[in-house]
Every structure is written in structure tokens, then in C-alpha cells.
């Protein structure tokens, strides 16, 4: 019997640096690349927010179609199905006589629950679900400590990992692929099918995100160009806007690292290199913390207590905040930019979060759930991890004191222009 591997794409929508894909090609006669649109990811949360709002939904759809195009260019295709992976994958395994299924391991509870269901269903068919690791800069197996011993303090984590671990080279993108014979490769739902409306472009936005690996790689090249230019103009750009492609896995963090590292010999690029690297380390850190502590990050009281929550006015205050109607200009500007574009800078995210938690005394989980709906770059570990941290209920209790709303506002909007631009 020929060996046929089903490659289940999730948040790893790329050909470059994709070990799962490379191994599937090497170990099979043909592969079946599959993406499953799972409506559970587009439903409502218990906080009355959506799991995925229209801006990210659009980005996801573009990313999936981008992957299909990329696969077509190397002689393949992507089977697109809609439903529950735990129902569909076993069906496909039987229909196409699949001998093994590959996927990338996730860390947050809903995602790991789904892969457990898939694994159990496949087990009944005596088919193995092979897990790959491909979302982080540093691989779990290369860490100088087991997950349970990863330092809780970010600075210690960074110090140890940089001293004792390695960043592996990227896997080359395949240039040819042999896929299973499929009569109907399926079509992808539209935004309207998902009951979402397209977002109108806001003229104030200085950037447009388009999903897909090709766009992600092109944007990475723009970042590198900006680094080169900054070397002479000294105009540092400390917001790379790489996060949305990283979140969808259309860009691998290792690819980003090795590309920006090529700039090392260019004078004055170190600051930007260090800034992006620091961000990638924070990203790894939260993923590893999720692996270490699991669901604790989704709990309102996490590893400690937020402090005062004004239960009586909570819903009203939350609504004001999300609708950019707090009356506090900078915060309203941040929320307008978020609502209109799906992207705000790190400092803007912290500012909005601090105001919601400390000034409006709303539980941080409502804010995290709202960001989950709105952010174009949402990923569970980065979002819930950062929120827990800002709320002071994260695993590193010492980080509680580092946030300062006034200081943030001075950095975010020193001359008041931001608040004027994004006045709703
Ligand atoms: C309340 C709150 C919620 C957040 N939610 C998310 C989220 O859902 N998804 C997300 O990717 N980031 C999240 N962040 C982290 C950070 O704000 C964004 O990653 C960053 O603003 C993206 O912009 P950039 O690509 O220009 O980042 P850069 O500053 O250029 O950094 C490079 C990359 O490093 C990663 N990164 C940078 N800072 C962080 C950080 N603090 N935590 C984790 N990763 C980081 C991102 O992938 C980013 O693209 C959140 C931060 C806060 C305070």
C-alpha cells in the first residue's frame, strides 16, 4: 500500500520553515494537505464577544487562500473543508486511505482539546496523529530546562535561553509536491457566509494587512529595508507589524530571526534587531508559560487577584471602553484605532488594558475577550498572557509593578496628535 500522509494545516499556513510539510513529503508517496474551517472559532464567547471578528476573519480567509495558491504553484492543492476536525479528519482518512496524520501542536485549551478529539478518533482507526513543534523561535526540546522548570520571570528566561539554547536554521520550502488525487478540493466560505461584514477602510490607517505567506514574506522584506534606511536616517521603526502573519503561521519566527540577522553587519541596525528579537522572545515566553501552566491564564484570578472590580457598573463601563466612549481621549483613540483597523501598538494595548482594569475597575478577562475578537494578530498565549500580566494576575507576580498608565500615555501620545487623529 502506498504511504499517504494527511497534513492538517491550522495556524501554520506556510511552505517555508515547515518541518511538518517537509517530513510529510519525505516520508510519503503522496500527501493530502487539508485546512478545516471550524465554525466554533467564529462563535460567541461567554463574555458576549465574538471569538473572531470581521477583520481577523478576513485575514484568515486570505491566509488560507494564500496557502492554496502557494501549494498550487508547486503542483499541489489544499483541500478546504468546513466542520469539526474530529469528524472530518477521520472521514478523510478512510476516504483517501491515509496512513498517518501530521499537525503542529498548539498550546491553548480549545486548540489542544480539538487535537485530542482528533487523536482519539484516529486512534479508533489505528492511525497515528504526529505532533510537530513549529510555532516558536526556540524549540521546546532545545531549551536548557524542562517546561516545568522554565523561569517564571521573563528576564531570567531570556538570559538562560540566550545563553544555553540555539535557534535552529529554517527548513527550506518544498519546490515540488505530490498530492493525493482529489476530485473536489472544496471552496472556502466567504465573510458573509460567516455572518460577518467586510470592514470599510479607515482613511486614518497608515497600513493595510493582507493575509498570506507571500504578503508576510514581502512585508518582512519591507521591515528589512526599513532597518537599512534607519541605519542612515536614525529613524528607528519600533513597530514591525509582523505579528498578524506570525499569528497565522504565514511567517515563521525563525525566518524573521535569520532574515533580520543578515542585517548584523549594517551599522546602526542593532537597536531594531534587538527590539524585534525581544518581541519574539516574549512571544516564545508566553507560549512556554501556557505549556507550563495551561488554563490558569484564562482564569480571572489567575495566579493572583486583580484587586477591585466594580461589579455593579462593570457591564456599562466595559461597553463604554469597547465603544471608545470613556471620555478619556487617548484611551478612546486607542479603542477607535483597534475597532477600525484590528491593530494597535504594544504600548496602546497596555494603555487600554491598564485603563480598563485600574480606572474602570472592570475584570481583565472582559478586555482579553474583546481583544480576542478584535485583534488581527490574536493568538491565545500572547493575548491572555499579556492581559494577565498587565492585570497583575500572571505567573510572574513581580511584573505587576512595571506598568504605569501616565508614563505610557506620555510615550504613546507625547504631543496629543494621536488622540486627535483617532478621535471617534
Ligand atoms: C494586552 C495585550 C494583548 C496582546 N495581545 C497580543 C496578541 O493577541 N497577539 C500578539 O501577537 N501579540 C499580542 N500582544 C503583544 C504585542 O502588543 C504585539 O505582539 C505587538 O504589538 C505587535 O506589533 P509588532 O508586530 O509591530 O511587534 P514588534 O514590536 O515589532 O515585535 C516583533 C514581534 O514580536 C512579538 N511580540 C512583540 N511583543 C510581544 C509581547 N509583549 N508578547 C508577545 N509577543 C510579542 C510579535 O509577534 C511581534 O510581531 C499583546 C500585548 C498586550 C499588552
Contact call for residues 395 and 296 (beta carbons, < 8 A): yes
What ligand 1 atom has the least distance to the C-alpha of 379?
A: 8
What ligand 1 atom has the least distance to the C-alpha of 243?
A: 49
Residues 234 and 350 in one domain: no
Question: Is 4 in a helix, a strand, or coil?
Answer: strand
State CA 34 to chain mean position distance: 20
- Burial string for 322-332 (b: 16+ CB within 10 Å, else e) reads bebebebbbbb
Cβ 390 under 6 angstroms from ligand 1: yes
Q: Cα of 357 to ligand 1 centre, how many Å? A: 19
Residue among 291, 295, 240 nearest 269 (CA): 240
pLDDT at residue 192 in the model: 97
What ligand 1 atom has the least distance to the C-alpha of 375?
A: 8
Q: Cα of 212 to ligand 1 centre, how many Å? A: 19
Cβ 382 under 6 angstroms from ligand 1: yes
pLDDT at residue 301 in the model: 87
CB atoms within 10 A of CB 241: 16
The set of residues, in sequence order, having a beta carbon less than 8 Å from that of 221 and lying 6+ positions away, is: 259
CATH code of the domain covering residue 159: 1.25.40.80
Q: Cα of 257 to ligand 1 centre, how many Å? A: 15
Residues 127 and 81 in one domain: yes
Residues 337 and 382 in one domain: yes
Residues 153 and 236 in one domain: yes
Tally the domains of the chain.
3
Cβ 243 under 6 angstroms from ligand 1: yes
Query: If you write DSSP's letter for every residue of 269-331 in order, what string do you get?
Result: -HHHHHHHHHHHHHHHHHHHHHHHHGGGGGSTTTTS------TTTHHHHHHHHHTT-SS-HHH
Residues 162 and 271 in one domain: yes
Cβ 280 under 6 angstroms from ligand 1: yes
Residues 150 and 116 in one domain: no
Question: What average pLDDT values come out for the chain (424 residues) when binned by 10 residues?
Answer: 94 98 98 97 96 98 98 98 98 98 91 94 97 94 90 94 95 97 97 96 94 98 90 75 98 98 86 93 95 88 87 97 98 98 97 97 97 98 95 80 89 95 92
Cβ 408 under 6 angstroms from ligand 1: no
Which of 60, 111, 243 gets mutated to test ligand 1 (max ligand atoms within 8 A of its CB)? 243
CATH code of the domain covering residue 101: 3.40.50.620
Determine the structural domain holding residue 262 and report its residue range: 136-169+213-293
Contact call for residues 63 and 13 (beta carbons, < 8 A): yes
Which of 353, 355, 382, 385 gets mutated to test ligand 1 (max ligand atoms within 8 A of its CB)? 382
**Maximum C-alpha span of the chain:** 69
Virtual torsion, Cα 135, 139, 143, 146, nearest 10 deg: 70
Q: Cα of 384 to ligand 1 centre, how many Å? A: 11
pLDDT at residue 234 in the model: 67
Residues 148 and 287 in one domain: yes
> What is the C-alpha to C-alpha distance for residues 393 and 107, in angstroms, rounded to an integer?
19
Residues 229 and 94 in one domain: no
> What is the C-alpha to C-alpha distance for residues 243 and 375, in angstroms, rounded to an integer?
10
Which of 59, 209, 346, 379 gets mutated to test ligand 1 (max ligand atoms within 8 A of its CB)? 346
> What is the C-alpha to C-alpha distance for residues 278 and 162, in angstroms, rounded to an integer?
11
pLDDT at residue 396 in the model: 81
> What is the C-alpha to C-alpha distance for residues 394 and 392, in angstroms, rounded to an integer?
6
Cβ 345 under 6 angstroms from ligand 1: yes
Amino acid at each position: 500500500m502506498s504511504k499517504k500522509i494527511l497534513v492538517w494545516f491550522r495556524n501554520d499556513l506556510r511552505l517555508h520553515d515547515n518541518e511538518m510539510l517537509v517530513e510529510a513529503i519525505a516520508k510519503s508517496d503522496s500527501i493530502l494537505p487539508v485546512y478545516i474551517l471550524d465554525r466554533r472559532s467564529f462563535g460567541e464567547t461567554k463574555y458576549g464577544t465574538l471569538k473572531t471578528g470581521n477583520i481577523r476573519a478576513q485575514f484568515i480567509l486570505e491566509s488560507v487562500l494564500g496557502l492554496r495558491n502557494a501549494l498550487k504553484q508547486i503542483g499541489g492543492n489544499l483541500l478546504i473543508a468546513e466542520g469539526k476536525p474530529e469528524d472530518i479528519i477521520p472521514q478523510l482518512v478512510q476516504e483517501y486511505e491515509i496512513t498517518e496524520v501530521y499537525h503542529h501542536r498548539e498550546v491553548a485549551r480549545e486548540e489542544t482539546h480539538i487535537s485530542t478529539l482528533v487523536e482519539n478518533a484516529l486512534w479508533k482507526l489505528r492511525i497515528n496523529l504526529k505532533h510537530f513543534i513549529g510555532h516558536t523561535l526556540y524549540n521546546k526540546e532545545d531549551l536548557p530546562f524542562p517546561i516545568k522548570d522554565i523561569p517564571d520571570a521573563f528576564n531570567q528566561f531570556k538570559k538562560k535561553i540566550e545563553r544555553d539554547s540555539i535557534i535552529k536554521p529554517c527548513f527550506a520550502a518544498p519546490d515540488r509536491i505530490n498530492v493525493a488525487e482529489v476530485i473536489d478540493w472544496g471552496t472556502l466560505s466567504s465573510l458573509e457566509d460567516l455572518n460577518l461584514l467586510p470592514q470599510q477602510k479607515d482613511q486614518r490607517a497608515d497600513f493595510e494587512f493582507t493575509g498570506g505567506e507571500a504578503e508576510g514574506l514581502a512585508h518582512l522584506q519591507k521591515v528589512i529595508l526599513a532597518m537599512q534606511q534607519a541605519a542612515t536616517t536614525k529613524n528607528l521603526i519600533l513597530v514591525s507589524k509582523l505579528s498578524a502573519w506570525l499569528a497565522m503561521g504565514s511567517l515563521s519566527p525563525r525566518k524573521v530571526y535569520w532574515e533580520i540577522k543578515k542585517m548584523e553587519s549594517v551599522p546602526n541596525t542593532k537597536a531594531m534587531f534587538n527590539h524585534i528579537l525581544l518581541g519574539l522572545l516574549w512571544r516564545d515566553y508566553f507560549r512556554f508559560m501556557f505549556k507550563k501552566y495551561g488554563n490558569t491564564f484564562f482564569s480571572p484570578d489567575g495566579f493572583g487577584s486583580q484587586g477591585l472590580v466594580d461589579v455593579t457598573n462593570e457591564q456599562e463601563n466595559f461597553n463604554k471602553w469597547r465603544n471608545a466612549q470613556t471620555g478619556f481621549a487617548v484611551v478612546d483613540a486607542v479603542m477607535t484605532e483597534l475597532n477600525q483597523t484590528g491593530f494597535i501598538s504594544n504600548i496602546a494595548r497596555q494603555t487600554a488594558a491598564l485603563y480598563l482594569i485600574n480606572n474602570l475597575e472592570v475584570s481583565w478577562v472582559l478586555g482579553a475577550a474583546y481583544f480576542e475578537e478584535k485583534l488581527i494578530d490574536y493568538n491565545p498565549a500572547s493575548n491572555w498572557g499579556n492581559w494577565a500580566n498587565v492585570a497583575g494576575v500572571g505567573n510572574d507576580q513581580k511584573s505587576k509593578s512595571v506598568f504605569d498608565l501616565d508614563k505610557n500615555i506620555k510615550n504613546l501620545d507625547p504631543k496629543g496628535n494621536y488622540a486627535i487623529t483617532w478621535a471617534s
